[in-house]
Structure 1
Amino acid sequence: MSKLPDNPTAGQVKDFLLEVMDAADDRASKINPSFTKEQIWNAFMSSVFNKDEDKSYMEHQGKASMAVKNMNREFGGI
Protein backbone atom coordinates (compact mmCIF):
# COMPACT_ATOMS: atom_id res chain seq x y z
CA MET A 1 0.00 0.00 0.00
CA SER A 2 1.52 3.29 -1.00
CA LYS A 3 -1.24 5.63 0.17
CA LEU A 4 -4.42 5.43 2.21
CA PRO A 5 -7.82 5.86 0.53
CA ASP A 6 -9.95 8.89 1.40
CA ASN A 7 -12.17 7.14 3.96
CA PRO A 8 -10.20 4.17 5.32
CA THR A 9 -11.26 1.68 7.93
CA ALA A 10 -9.29 1.44 11.15
CA GLY A 11 -7.85 -1.84 9.85
CA GLN A 12 -6.56 -0.16 6.69
CA VAL A 13 -4.91 2.56 8.77
CA LYS A 14 -3.26 -0.01 11.07
CA ASP A 15 -2.00 -2.01 8.09
CA PHE A 16 -0.65 1.13 6.44
CA LEU A 17 1.15 2.27 9.60
CA LEU A 18 2.66 -1.16 10.16
CA GLU A 19 3.83 -1.21 6.55
CA VAL A 20 5.66 2.13 6.92
CA MET A 21 6.95 1.50 10.45
CA ASP A 22 10.58 1.33 9.26
CA ALA A 23 10.31 4.89 7.95
CA ALA A 24 9.34 6.13 11.42
CA ASP A 25 12.80 7.21 12.52
CA ASP A 26 14.47 10.21 14.13
CA ARG A 27 14.29 12.49 11.08
CA ALA A 28 12.15 15.62 11.37
CA SER A 29 8.50 15.18 10.48
CA LYS A 30 7.16 16.75 7.29
CA ILE A 31 3.85 17.72 8.87
CA ASN A 32 5.37 19.15 12.05
CA PRO A 33 9.17 19.53 12.14
CA SER A 34 9.04 19.95 15.93
CA PHE A 35 8.48 16.19 16.10
CA THR A 36 10.30 13.22 14.67
CA LYS A 37 8.72 10.83 12.20
CA GLU A 38 8.68 8.24 14.99
CA GLN A 39 6.70 10.53 17.29
CA ILE A 40 4.18 11.24 14.54
CA TRP A 41 3.89 7.51 13.76
CA ASN A 42 3.29 6.78 17.46
CA ALA A 43 0.55 9.42 17.64
CA PHE A 44 -1.23 8.03 14.59
CA MET A 45 -0.92 4.44 15.80
CA SER A 46 -2.25 5.32 19.25
CA SER A 47 -5.26 7.01 17.62
CA VAL A 48 -6.23 3.78 15.87
CA PHE A 49 -4.86 1.08 18.17
CA ASN A 50 -8.05 0.02 20.01
CA LYS A 51 -10.55 0.72 17.23
CA ASP A 52 -12.68 -1.94 15.55
CA GLU A 53 -10.82 -2.94 12.37
CA ASP A 54 -13.96 -2.89 10.21
CA LYS A 55 -15.26 0.52 11.24
CA SER A 56 -14.37 3.87 9.76
CA TYR A 57 -11.10 5.31 11.05
CA MET A 58 -12.83 8.34 12.61
CA GLU A 59 -16.49 9.17 13.10
CA HIS A 60 -16.10 12.82 12.13
CA GLN A 61 -15.26 12.90 8.42
CA GLY A 62 -13.40 16.24 8.58
CA LYS A 63 -10.97 14.97 11.22
CA ALA A 64 -10.48 11.70 9.34
CA SER A 65 -9.81 13.53 6.10
CA MET A 66 -7.13 15.73 7.70
CA ALA A 67 -5.51 12.77 9.47
CA VAL A 68 -5.45 10.67 6.28
CA LYS A 69 -3.94 13.55 4.31
CA ASN A 70 -1.27 13.98 6.98
CA MET A 71 -0.47 10.25 7.07
CA ASN A 72 -0.18 10.16 3.30
CA ARG A 73 1.98 13.27 3.32
CA GLU A 74 4.26 11.91 6.03
CA PHE A 75 4.54 8.27 4.98
CA GLY A 76 2.76 7.80 1.63
CA GLY A 77 4.73 6.62 -1.34
CA ILE A 78 7.38 4.89 0.77
Structure 2
Amino acid sequence: MLWCPFGHEPDDKPLTALFWRTAADVTDVLVAPPEPFDVEDEGYVPKPCLFAPEQITEYPNPMELGKEVPQQLADGSR
Protein backbone atom coordinates (compact mmCIF):
# COMPACT_ATOMS: atom_id res chain seq x y z
CA MET A 1 0.00 0.00 0.00
CA LEU A 2 1.30 3.42 -0.87
CA TRP A 3 0.23 6.48 1.08
CA CYS A 4 1.18 10.11 1.48
CA PRO A 5 2.55 11.13 4.92
CA PHE A 6 1.03 14.62 4.68
CA GLY A 7 -2.39 16.04 5.53
CA HIS A 8 -4.64 17.03 2.63
CA GLU A 9 -7.95 18.78 2.16
CA PRO A 10 -10.79 16.25 1.66
CA ASP A 11 -11.15 17.06 -2.06
CA ASP A 12 -7.41 17.31 -2.75
CA LYS A 13 -5.73 14.08 -1.76
CA PRO A 14 -3.85 11.25 -3.48
CA LEU A 15 -5.87 8.24 -4.59
CA THR A 16 -5.41 5.16 -2.39
CA ALA A 17 -5.51 1.76 -4.10
CA LEU A 18 -4.88 -1.77 -2.82
CA PHE A 19 -4.20 -4.80 -5.00
CA TRP A 20 -4.35 -8.42 -3.81
CA ARG A 21 -1.49 -10.67 -4.90
CA THR A 22 -0.72 -14.28 -4.15
CA ALA A 23 2.42 -15.06 -2.17
CA ALA A 24 3.88 -16.66 -5.32
CA ASP A 25 3.56 -13.33 -7.16
CA VAL A 26 5.61 -11.47 -4.54
CA THR A 27 9.31 -11.52 -5.39
CA ASP A 28 12.26 -9.50 -4.12
CA VAL A 29 10.71 -8.98 -0.68
CA LEU A 30 12.26 -6.07 1.26
CA VAL A 31 13.71 -6.90 4.67
CA ALA A 32 12.46 -3.56 6.00
CA PRO A 33 10.20 -0.97 4.39
CA PRO A 34 11.93 2.20 3.20
CA GLU A 35 11.74 5.18 5.56
CA PRO A 36 9.81 8.17 4.24
CA PHE A 37 12.12 11.08 3.45
CA ASP A 38 9.79 13.62 5.08
CA VAL A 39 6.75 13.25 7.34
CA GLU A 40 4.26 15.90 8.46
CA ASP A 41 3.07 13.89 11.49
CA GLU A 42 4.42 10.59 12.84
CA GLY A 43 0.80 9.43 13.21
CA TYR A 44 0.62 9.24 9.42
CA VAL A 45 3.34 6.57 9.29
CA PRO A 46 1.94 3.04 9.70
CA LYS A 47 3.47 0.69 12.25
CA PRO A 48 4.67 -2.68 10.91
CA CYS A 49 2.10 -5.39 11.51
CA LEU A 50 0.57 -8.53 10.05
CA PHE A 51 -3.03 -9.15 9.22
CA ALA A 52 -4.83 -12.28 8.16
CA PRO A 53 -7.70 -11.79 5.72
CA GLU A 54 -10.65 -14.03 6.42
CA GLN A 55 -13.72 -15.03 4.49
CA ILE A 56 -16.97 -13.67 5.87
CA THR A 57 -20.62 -14.05 5.03
CA GLU A 58 -22.01 -10.66 4.16
CA TYR A 59 -25.69 -10.28 4.90
CA PRO A 60 -27.97 -7.68 3.32
CA ASN A 61 -28.67 -4.38 5.00
CA PRO A 62 -31.82 -4.69 7.18
CA MET A 63 -33.42 -1.92 5.10
CA GLU A 64 -33.21 -4.25 2.06
CA LEU A 65 -35.13 -7.10 3.72
CA GLY A 66 -38.67 -5.77 3.42
CA LYS A 67 -41.19 -5.28 6.23
CA GLU A 68 -41.96 -8.93 7.03
CA VAL A 69 -38.42 -10.07 7.94
CA PRO A 70 -37.85 -7.55 10.79
CA GLN A 71 -41.31 -8.46 12.12
CA GLN A 72 -40.38 -12.16 12.05
CA LEU A 73 -37.10 -11.44 13.84
CA ALA A 74 -38.86 -9.32 16.47
CA ASP A 75 -41.45 -12.07 16.99
CA GLY A 76 -38.70 -14.50 18.09
CA SER A 77 -40.95 -17.54 17.71
CA ARG A 78 -39.21 -18.74 14.56
TM-score (norm. length: structure 1)? 0.21
Q: With a CA cutoff of 8 Å and minimum separation of 6, indicate the structure with the bigger relative contact order.
A: 1
Higher percent of residues as helix? 1
TM-score (norm. length: structure 2)? 0.21
